[in-house]
Chains A and B, each alone.
Chain A
């Protein structure tokens, strides 16, 4: 058999027996919430799609203020299936962040961050931040009017950070204003820096998952210990994951074909800002929060204080495994569940308010 021969050829040189044994032994717990284990796989699948479609877009995209818009227009109108690739890339980015949020909250509510998986949670939280940075930097690349002004507003927020805000703004924009220099560095972040850092975090995240396996929620642990049920990771779990991937792929196709991602008008730095500028949906709840903050809180600038508050909140969230002592001890921690529910409602309500009333 030819296949067997090739397999042996590689095996003699690389010795896959360890990996094969590991994959044969690796199992995934089966319980009433095991469905949520698949969300991470879908997110990873979408990331792979982003990398592939991103590489295809790179073949034609030109990162300069003079030609970025025109090159995306060319992709959308003249490149064979260019419209599909670009639409899949844009929709894929949004779906990936959507599934990332679901993955994060499902992990949170199942308290999968407890010992020994603290590092997995932290690496995952950084992956979410990296995904948001991907979204923010990628949004500007078509160099259209909405993206231009949204980036202007977004980078202005960085300027309110005390002491170093202005320096951050200059670093992000490549100058005082959003210009071609901003586009070039955002492109650099988007296609070089962020993928490289993401690859490292992703590798760590996946290795930890493989090494530690899936966590059973503390509330189900006693029942699971009495009657442990599991399925083989390969091929049973992977096959189930593949069904999810296929459905997401179908959804991406539907979204890309029925609602192709609009290009809009080319950015004009001298034009007045269009009304109702909003950041991308995943930043809207933060944007809305800042709207409700008064200009002055005691003697401090309200916006600066709010940005610092959000930053502190994010740091606490990243290190939440160390705060949830009950979960660390393998016990249910309803207080943290309530915090999680509050956070989900907060994000949903503020996002809804922004889209419905503003």
Chain B
């Protein structure tokens, strides 16, 4: 990849010089002191330079002359460093132009600016707030990379830290009255573990729930839809459940009410039921229907787990003792699948709806149990056979030894 870039840069530079169109912004600035030369060194890795977008495309001016007066003449459109309020409009000049952008990527989105205008960042920026994020705040300035480039500031594994540069800064965020622990909470979440520890770049980070260019906190009644982008079945069950209406009426944050938001943890069965630390009892009293449903759901899960556990142990014991078992994997997998399905079905919060899954789980576990039982019976039969064989062998050998002893006088 690196070699490819170097070659591309060389080709581009050679092209300009060979065509007699020497870019004097580059030739001059790379000779200047560090801060003025930095844009040149940074841009050479950037997607714009590699696509042939050069200094004057954003800053204006005339790159064909080496006379600073002429090249940076405002009459030639030189704008120098764009003002904060103009940055998004400047980027939108190209990025919102579907015809222009198509030549780089026929599928590229050109809605970034219009989305930005609807975002919390864009709204505040339009009100004159110069601390909110604009394009360069997240993407960088001269060293902007493709989103798919792992070194890009907005690549999934880098994005949360990029958002955190502002959102985790207490002092910076003070005037907005927003909590600044989101990054810390997120990094402790199951989503972050998948992203950072397991390297699953499909795992959600900030923009997957808040949007990117249109970043805004999801409304309380739309949280299930946001989570539902990945957890579709849970969302479907939840939306059709009595909890949806109840939560909306009480201003509860749907999924977030039980699972949290930034600090979402791996779910476990203890969250369900009527004993501590179950969450159901936070709202449901012991004489309520909800309490009874919570108790049934948890009891069903515990029963399934117990039967699967027993079947697994029996099969494991038989296999450990050398009995080959067939079809056990299929039945155990089916039972496990039913358990997983049941855990998803609990989002219906309906005793009736989970029953079918529970029965299917019990049936598969029962089949696995029977296989385990059969395997253990086989093991026991083998042991009996072994004892009989060994006893018979020893008996015949002993008789032979006696016979030989009796005949010993034949040795001469």
Contacts and interface: CB of A to CB of B under 8 A. Distances in A.
Contact of A77 (B324, B396, B400, B407): B324
B386 A257 contact: yes
A246 B385 contact: no
Contacts of A246: 393, 396-397, 400
B404 A76 contact: no
Interface in A69-95: 73, 76-78, 83-84, 87
A193 interface: no
B401 to A, nearest CB: 6
Main secondary structure of the interface of B (DSSP, over half): helix
Contacts of A8: none
B397 A254 contact: no
A304 to B, nearest CB: 39
Interface stretch (A128-136, A205-213, A232-240): A232-240
Contacts of A242: 400
Interface in A224-248: 229-232, 235-236, 239-240, 242-243, 246-247
Contact of A236 (B321, B385, B411): B411
Nearest to A75: B324
Given A230-B412, A242-B400, A250 B407 contact: no
B393 A263 contact: no
A167 interface: no
B210 interface: no
Interface in B389-412: 389-390, 393-394, 396-397, 400-401, 403-404, 407, 410-412
Contacts of B396: 246
Interface in B357-412: 382-383, 385-386, 389-390, 393-394, 396-397, 400-401, 403-404, 407, 410-412
A84 B382 CA distance: 9
Contacts of B383: 257
A232 B322 contact: no
A73 B404 contact: no
B325 interface: yes
Given A242-B400, A243-B404, A253-B390, A231 B324 contact: no
B47 interface: no
B323 to A, nearest CB: 7
A153 to B, nearest CB: 26
B410 A236 contact: yes
B404 A260 contact: no
A229 B411 contact: yes
Contacts, number: 71
B389 A250 contact: yes
Contacts of B412: 229-230
B1 interface: no
Contact of B400 (A239, A253, A261): A239
Nearest to A255: B386
B382 A257 contact: yes
A30 B411 contact: yes
Contacts of B407: 235-236, 239
A253 B385 CA distance: 9
A192 interface: no
A122 B383 CA distance: 42
B326 A260 contact: no
Contacts of B325: 77
Nearest to A30: B411
Given A73-B324, A239-B403, A243-B400, A254 B410 contact: no
A260 B382 CA distance: 10
Contact of B397 (A84, A247, A263): A247
Contact of B411 (A230, A257, A258, A261): A230
A261 to B, nearest CB: 8
A320 interface: no
A249 interface: yes
A216 to B, nearest CB: 16
Nearest to A239: B404
A249 B404 contact: no
A268 interface: no
A263 B400 contact: no
Q: Which of A30, A243, A258 has the most CB of B within 10 A?
A: A243
A262 to B, nearest CB: 7
A300 interface: no
Nearest to A247: B397
Given A230-B412, A260-B323, A236 B404 contact: yes
B393 A249 contact: yes
30 contacts: A76-B324, A77-B324, A77-B325, A77-B326, A83-B323, A84-B382, A84-B385, A229-B411, A230-B411, A231-B410, A231-B411, A232-B410, A235-B407, A239-B400, A239-B403, A240-B404, A242-B400, A243-B404, A246-B396, A247-B393, A250-B389, A253-B386, A253-B389, A257-B382, A257-B383, A257-B386, A259-B322, A260-B321, A261-B322, A262-B322
Given A78-B326, A246-B400, 11 more contacts: A230-B411, A235-B407, A236-B407, A236-B410, A239-B404, A242-B400, A246-B396, A247-B397, A253-B389, A257-B382, A262-B322
